[in-house]
């Protein structure tokens, strides 16, 4: 026998007699030689094992791990340290080992074969197996890396998130699964992690197999295996991609809201300015003593939180006074919400004031915010407050006293901070005496009454107001502004203006429309005793020349008597109800406030003891 052959034989004999469980495997991972101790423990001879893979005699679970975890890592790193494996002995019994393996290289640094040593530690191997099972099945993204940054183990959830198989990951550098920026950051911090031992919530980006970038937070903890003596880093990763996207969308939404808010505020300021100009809010035209007294009272009450009751005839500009008070108050930047009490149907008063919940009544298809809630922090203007039904006045009183209310169909009590400005053309004191208005509500509303003088008591203010309306209307119509003649000025100064400022504005607008010559205004005032506001009423006159010797006209006294009789009949027909769909005002084609003024002027009052009917009899 030649010397090299003898040396090889001696080496094989020496290996076989080693008192350890050991095996030599070729480059493809198949058995070449095993120790006598290995054959004794497993029952297999060397001849039975040569050419076979450890997977062939491993338990099914261990074979899967060898295939998916141990072999990929071994081929990339050339070593395995204390990995748990299970084999089935020749007699069918299960054996649990911890395996340590190394690749042996030739002089050209090419792998020749590998040597594996097995340590029988059944209790420890089972504990290792249970740990691995828990590690793999935990519903968290976990991975473990060695000191060189190579992955030694990963959880199933980690694999699912990134779309890899276990055999594609084990033994590879963690940097392979990070974005370029995150890879650079992590490369510089690996040494720091092993030295400090901990890392908390560091943002990184990982790249899936399909190329999708995930935003993650990484926390790490360094572990030292007392048995193996190896240092590893356990890294827990939390996928923040969806959350970051949601937060990004939320930031975009907040940015859009801020932009829209700013845009709305600009539009609000612009519209306020436009409304102020078009409606002349804050600028009440005139210099008469009566107007001066009213303005003094406005200045006195505007900056206080007191409720205000504005009293005046129809058309005197009560709404303008309300806006002037609001504009000079501390609530000027908050809304002024107007409610025309005369135009609200009886059954919808509560819903209009306080709002309603969806399904509260037939037709309530969605929640509705009431006027008081809309005016929260600002001012609510109750025009024609005398038209509020008696049964609802108690609820209005509660809002004024307690500053709270409930929507219709809802038992949630809501708080509200509102200043109330009310207006009426009625004598509320008489309404209280007649039982049509609550006395406590009257005193709550009339903390500070403001009397608006009628136009006939404002002297030459009528001329200033007429000039103002003329300029405004001509500007709106795109026409040049003509001048009033002296005779027109004298006519306006001596006219009684029963319709007040509203009548004056209508008259000027009609004159501008009818004027053909831009330099001359066709102004035609009604004859004394009639008004523009009442020209829709028909007065029955005797036919001209109906009978020889008889007049074809009636006197002013007869005309007023005829008008009084006509209104009385309409009131009787409506059960003395003024407003509403079946009220006398609707029957006569008048506004409730206009009819109330005429009733007062003609001395018409509801008969004592007669209850106001809901419907016409």
Domains and CATH numbers, the chain: 3-125 (3.30.450.20), 138-239 (3.30.450.20), 280-453 (3.40.50.300), 456-534 (1.10.8.60), 537-544+552-617 (1.10.10)
In this prediction, residue 2 carries a pLDDT of 55
In this prediction, residue 544 carries a pLDDT of 40
In this prediction, residue 286 carries a pLDDT of 86
Query: Which residues is 448 bridged to in the sheet?
Result: 308
Antiparallel, parallel or unpaired: β 448-451 and 308-311: parallel
CB count in 10 Å sphere of residue 417: 12
Look at residue 359 and tell me whether its pLDDT is greater than 80.
Answer: no
By the 8 A CB rule, do 98 and 119 touch? yes
Closest CA to 426 of 409, 445, 411, 412: 445
**pLDDT confidence band for 439 (50 / 70 / 90):** very high
Closest CA to 129 of 218, 58, 31, 79: 58
**pLDDT confidence band for 298 (50 / 70 / 90):** very high
| Structure letter (DSSP) for residue 66 | I
Q: Who has greater pLDDT, 518 or 238?
A: 238
Sequence-distant contacts of 402-405: CB under 8 A, at least 24 apart: 405/353, 405/354, 405/370, 405/372
Closest CA to 378 of 310, 451, 435, 329: 329
In this structure, of 130-144, 180-194, 438-452, 453-467, the range with the lowest mean pLDDT score is: 180-194
In this structure, of 102-106, 131-135, 367-371, 526-530, the range with the lowest mean pLDDT score is: 526-530
In this prediction, residue 297 carries a pLDDT of 93
In this prediction, residue 422 carries a pLDDT of 94
Average pLDDT over every residue of 511-515: 86
In this prediction, residue 325 carries a pLDDT of 93
Q: What percent of the chain has pLDDT over 70?
A: 86
In this prediction, residue 9 carries a pLDDT of 61
In this prediction, residue 100 carries a pLDDT of 86
Look at residue 615 and tell me whether its pLDDT is greater than 60.
Answer: no
In this prediction, residue 321 carries a pLDDT of 93
Average pLDDT over every residue of 418-447: 91
**pLDDT confidence band for 533 (50 / 70 / 90):** very low
Average pLDDT over every residue of 365-379: 86
| Structure letter (DSSP) for residue 562 | H
In this structure, of 22-26, 363-367, 448-452, the range with the lowest mean pLDDT score is: 363-367
- Dihedrals φ, ψ of 92, to 5°? 95, -5
Average pLDDT over every residue of 490-516: 88
Q: What is the pTM of this model?
A: 0.49
Look at residue 362 and tell me whether its pLDDT is greater than 80.
Answer: no
In this prediction, residue 5 carries a pLDDT of 58
Most confident of 34-38, 125-129, 357-361, 534-538: 34-38
Q: Which helix (H) or strand (E) holds 141?
A: strand 141-145
Look at residue 534 and tell me whether its pLDDT is greater than 70.
Answer: no
**pLDDT confidence band for 553 (50 / 70 / 90):** low
Look at residue 521 and tell me whether its pLDDT is greater than 60.
Answer: yes
| Structure letter (DSSP) for residue 454 | P
d(CA 303, CA 309): 15
For 265-299, letters b (16+ CB in 10 Å) and e give eeeeeeeeeeeeeeebbeebbbebebbeebeebbe
Average pLDDT over every residue of 125-146: 79
**pLDDT confidence band for 187 (50 / 70 / 90):** confident
**pLDDT confidence band for 83 (50 / 70 / 90):** confident
Radius of gyration of the CA atoms of the chain, in A: 49
Positive or negative, the CA dihedral 481, 487, 489, 495 is negative
Look at residue 584 and tell me whether its pLDDT is greater than 60.
Answer: yes
Q: Who has greater pLDDT, 196 or 293?
A: 293
Most confident of 113-122, 498-507, 592-601: 498-507
In this prediction, residue 486 carries a pLDDT of 86
In this structure, of 127-136, 175-184, 245-254, 402-411, the range with the lowest mean pLDDT score is: 127-136
- Three-state DSSP at 152 gives strand
d(CA 389, CA 60): 88
**pLDDT confidence band for 549 (50 / 70 / 90):** very low
Average pLDDT over every residue of 64-74: 83
In this prediction, residue 138 carries a pLDDT of 85
Tokens of 589: 């084609």
In sequence order, which residues have a C-beta less than 8 Å from that of residue 448 and are 6 or more positions away? 297, 300, 301, 304, 306, 307, 308, 309
In this prediction, residue 322 carries a pLDDT of 92
Average pLDDT over every residue of 9-13: 71
Antiparallel, parallel or unpaired: β 419-424 and 308-311: parallel
In this prediction, residue 607 carries a pLDDT of 78
**Mean pLDDT score across all residues of the chain:** 82
CA angle 100, 106, 107 (to 5 degrees): 135
d(CA 217, CA 203): 5
In this prediction, residue 542 carries a pLDDT of 41
């Amino acid at each position: 026998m030649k010397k090299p052959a003898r040396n090889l034989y001696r080496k094989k004999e020496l290996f076989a007699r080693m008192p350890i469980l050991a095996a030599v495997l070729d480059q493809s991972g198949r058995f070449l030689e095993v120790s006598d101790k290995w054959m004794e423990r497993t029952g297999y001879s060397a001849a039975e094992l040569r050419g076979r893979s450890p997977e062939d005699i491993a338990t099914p679970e261990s074979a899967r791990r060898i295939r998916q975890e141990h072999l990929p890592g071994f081929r990339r790193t050339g070593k395995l340290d204390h990995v748990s494996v299970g084999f089935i002995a020749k007699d069918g019994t299960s054996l649990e080992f911890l395996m340590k393996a190394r690749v042996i290289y030739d002089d050209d640094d090419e792998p020749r074969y590998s040597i594996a040593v097995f340590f029988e530690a059944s209790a420890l191997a089972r504990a290792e197996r249970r740990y691995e099972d828990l590690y793999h099945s935990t519903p968290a993204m976990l991975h473990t890396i060695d000191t060189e940054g190579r992955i030694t183990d990963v959880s199933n959830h980690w694999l699912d998130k990134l779309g890899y198989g276990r055999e594609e990951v084990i033994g590879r550098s963690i940097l392979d699964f990070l974005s370029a920026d995150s890879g650079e950051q992590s490369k510089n911090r690996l040494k720091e992690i092993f030295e400090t031992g901990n890392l908390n919530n560091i943002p990184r980006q990982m790249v899936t197999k399909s190329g999708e970038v995930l935003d993650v937070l990484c926390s790490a903890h360094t572990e030292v295996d007392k048995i193996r003596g190896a240092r590893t880093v356990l890294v827990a990763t939390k996928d923040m991609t969806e959350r970051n996207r949601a937060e990004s969308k939320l930031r975009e939404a907040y940015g859009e809201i801020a932009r829209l808010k700013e845009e709305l505020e600009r539009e609000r300021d612009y519209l306020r300015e436009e409304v102020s100009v078009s409606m002349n809010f804050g600028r009440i035209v005139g210099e008469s003593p009566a107007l001066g007294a009213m303005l003094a009272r406005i200045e006195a009450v505007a900056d206080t939180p007191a409720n205000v009751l504005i009293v005046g005839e129809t058309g005197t500009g009560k709404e303008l006074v309300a806006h002037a008070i609001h504009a000079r108050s501390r609530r000027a930047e908050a809304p002024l919400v107007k409610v025309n009490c005369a135009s609200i149907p009886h059954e919808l008063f509560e819903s209009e004031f306080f709002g309603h919940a969806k399904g509260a009544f037939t037709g309530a298809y969605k929640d509705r915010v009431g006027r008081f809630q809309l005016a929260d922090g600002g001012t609510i203007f109750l025009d024609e407050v005398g038209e509020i039904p008696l049964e609802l006045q108690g609820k209005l009183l509660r809002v004024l006293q307690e500053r709270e209310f409930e929507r219709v169909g809802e038992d949630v009590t809501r708080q509200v901070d509102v200043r109330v400005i009310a207006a009426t053309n009625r004598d509320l004191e008489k309404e209280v005496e007649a039982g049509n208005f609550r006395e406590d509500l009257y005193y709550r509303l009339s903390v500070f009454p403001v009397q608006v003088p009628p136009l006939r008591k404002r002297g030459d203010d009528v001329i200033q107001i007429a000039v103002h309306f003329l300029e405004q209307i001509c500007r709106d119509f795109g026409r040049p502004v003509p001048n009033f003649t002296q005779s027109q000025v004298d006519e306006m100064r001596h006219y009684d203006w029963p319709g007040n400022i509203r009548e004056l504005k209508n008259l000027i607008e009609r004159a501008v429309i009818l004027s053909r010559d831009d330099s001359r205004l066709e102004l035609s005032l009604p004859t004394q005793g009639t008004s523009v506001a009442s020209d829709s009423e028909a007065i029955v006159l005797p036919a001209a020349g109906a009978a020889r010797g008889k007049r074809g006209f009636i006197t002013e006294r007869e005309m007023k008597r005829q008008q009084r009789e006509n209104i009385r009949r309409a009131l009787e027909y409506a059960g003395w109800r003024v407003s509403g769909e079946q009220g006398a005002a609707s029957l006569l084609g008048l506004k409730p406030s206009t009819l109330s003024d005429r009733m007062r002027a003609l001395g018409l009052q509801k008969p004592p003891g007669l209850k106001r009917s809901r419907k016409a009899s």
